[in-house]
Amino acid sequence: MRKVLLACLLIIITLSLIGCSEKSASENGVVNVVVSKDFGKEKLEDKNIDILDDVSVMEVMEENFDIETAYGGGFINAINGLKSGFTGVKDKRKTDWFYYVNGILAGVGAREYHLKPDDIVIWDYHDWSNNTYGSSIIGAYPMNFINGHADNVLKTEIIYEKNFEEESRKLLGFLKERGLKDIEIRELDEEQLEDGQINSIVIGRWNDVSKLSYINHIYENGDKFGLFFKAEKSIQALNEKGDISKEYERGAIITSVIKEYGLTGTIWLITGNDDNFIKKAVKLLYEDPEKIRGAFSVIIIDDNIIDIPVKK
């Protein structure tokens, strides 16, 4: 009888230890991995994955996806059978996998980037023949502000045109509730916009926002910064080649760009040619941010969200 009791006790202890081990593994945190193609327009995978401390992007991909690597194992050449059009093929096409952590294009290989809980990793397969990569994308919101990139959480500022004060303050409250501490808000001006160590969220009508010299500079060099819209009298959506693909009489845009190469400070533009659509765009960020998960940039028209760049 004692042997039976001891055996049962050992089983109970073993099961308890297994349970504790599994619990401690999952308690280290969860990351979200999105796999997409054509600048976020087609979502192929969307997984929440338990991680341990100090795990790399490559380790997460190896354990949870069917991947192929190249260049000594540091470069992902294929995910779930979708292969690079450039590496290791005879008839080369400039299509490849690019990965973003919390909305910023990673500057190191997937084996060198180590994740922390709540990070969002987006792998997108797209054409890079025009050399416009889109170094900052909106599809990891709000973690780009809250978790930052490469352990660098920056100060954030919300700069608003007076007509949008109410929505801007609600956005401020949303980000504070999610844990963003270093954030301030003020009316529209030029101060600090060029500072690559600050994230700037600029909210206002395009006619007013574009008068800021730094934003006008970004707009005039949109092909280099990765902008896929034109906002003159109408809102024009561009394709990945930079050509006008669709045109809307009224609308709003949510887009982001890196301020300076090598830094992670961004400018987010929430702008357009219609106050109601701009308010809808801001409300989307504090009421239903999941709707832009994985997107590069979007145009808001009526109740529709149009991904840009538009597929050619």
Asked if 216 contacts 186 with a C-beta cutoff of 8 angstroms, the reply is no
Domains recognised in the chain with CATH numbers = 30-127 (2.170.130.30), 143-308 (3.30.379)
The pTM of the full predicted model, rounded to 2 decimals, is 0.89
Widest CA span in the chain: 88
Q: How many residues does the chain have?
A: 312
CA nearest 283: which of 144, 162, 145, 170?
A: 170
Query: DSSP alpha helices (H): ranges in the chain?
Result: 2-27, 57-64, 143-146, 165-177, 206-209, 213-220, 222-225, 275-287
Count CB atoms within 10 A of the CB of residue 49. Answer: 17
**Tokens 């996998």 sit on residue:** 97
Token digits of residue 237 = 């959506």
pLDDT in tens, the chain (312 residues): 444 434 443 333 333 444 444 434 445 899 999 999 999 999 999 999 999 988 999 999 999 999 999 988 888 999 999 999 998 888 889 999 999 999 999 999 999 999 999 999 999 999 988 766 579 999 999 999 999 999 899 999 999 999 999 999 999 999 999 999 999 999 998 888 999 999 999 999 999 999 999 999 999 999 889 999 999 889 999 998 889 999 999 999 999 999 988 889 999 999 999 999 999 999 999 999 999 999 999 999 988 999 999 986
